[in-house]
């Protein structure tokens, strides 16, 4: 299957971001988690840090906004040149308008759903998206175990995407390892965020290749 691997720099060495971005250059994009300690109980970095990292990255940026007031802040990340910007449905007041504003700024637009958020209310807006992100852990912290309970939702989302004719990727984020990536791919996901399973390896490029090969066996 066609698959994309997006290592999450939430698991990188914070003192050596530029080095670690180079070490994952064989990936398809880098996943950048922006957290505000309000929407999720953790704090990472904001626009200034993301803008600077984007300037030194060899990879496109897949920005995942785990923040309140996504309608206000998401366009700023598109304006700074981030190639893909994902907001949470739970944090958007007007998700269709926000998706269109991100596209107008030249970014691909993604929408994320927490594990317990149903996908069905959002199926009519699939054509407004370039990516749908199904969280496979509760957002906020890296290193969590994959939630098997999310697999039926991934399957339903994949079936809806196929039936709609919309061209968008189905991303999963949380607990992705060489074992769980197979189950997520079997359920229909094609884009995989991996943090500790990549940055915890001695050879980051080999870890990325191993994940990609596992997903392609489906």
The residues annotated as belonging to the active site are 33, 173
Residue 40: both structure tokens together: 């999720």
Rounded Cα distance, 180 and 215, in Å: 9
Query: For the sheet containing 61-66, what is the strand order?
Result: 4-7, 191-194, 169-173, 131-135, 108-113, 84-88, 61-66, 30-35
- Distant-in-sequence, close-in-space partners of 150: CB < 8 Å, separation ≥ 6: 115, 134, 135, 136, 172
Enter the DSSP assignment of 145. Answer: P
**Structural tokens at position 213:** 């090969």
CA gap 4, 179 in Å, rounded: 16
CB 91 within 8 A of CB 68: yes
Torsional class of 109: left (φ above 0), alpha (ψ -120 to 50), beta (otherwise): beta
| Helix/strand number for the chain, H first, E second | 8, 8
């Amino acid at each position: 299957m066609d698959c994309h691997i997006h290592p999450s720099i939430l698991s990188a060495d914070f003192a050596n971001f530029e080095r670690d971005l180079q070490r994952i250059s064989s990936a398809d994009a880098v996943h950048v988690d922006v957290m505000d300690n309000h929407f999720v109980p953790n704090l990472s970095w904001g626009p200034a840090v993301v803008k600077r990292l984007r300037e030194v990255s060899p990879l496109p940026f897949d920005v995942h906004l785990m923040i309140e007031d996504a309608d206000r802040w998401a366009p700023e990340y598109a304006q700074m040149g981030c190639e893909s910007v994902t907001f949470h449905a739970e944090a958007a007041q007007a998700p269709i308008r926000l998706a269109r504003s991100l596209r107008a700024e030249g970014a691909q637009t993604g929408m994320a759903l927490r594990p317990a958020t149903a996908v069905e209310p959002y199926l009519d807006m699939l054509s407004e998206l370039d990516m749908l992100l199904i969280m496979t852990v509760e957002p906020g912290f890296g290193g969590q175990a994959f939630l098997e309970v999310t697999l039926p939702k991934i399957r339903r989302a994949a079936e809806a995407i196929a039936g709609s004719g919309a061209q968008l990727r189905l991303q999963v984020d949380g607990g992705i390892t060489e074992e769980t990536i197979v189950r997520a791919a079997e359920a229909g996901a094609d884009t995989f965020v991996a943090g500790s399973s990549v940055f915890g390896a001695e050879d980051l490029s080999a870890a990325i290749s191993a994940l990609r090969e596992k997903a392609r066996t489906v």
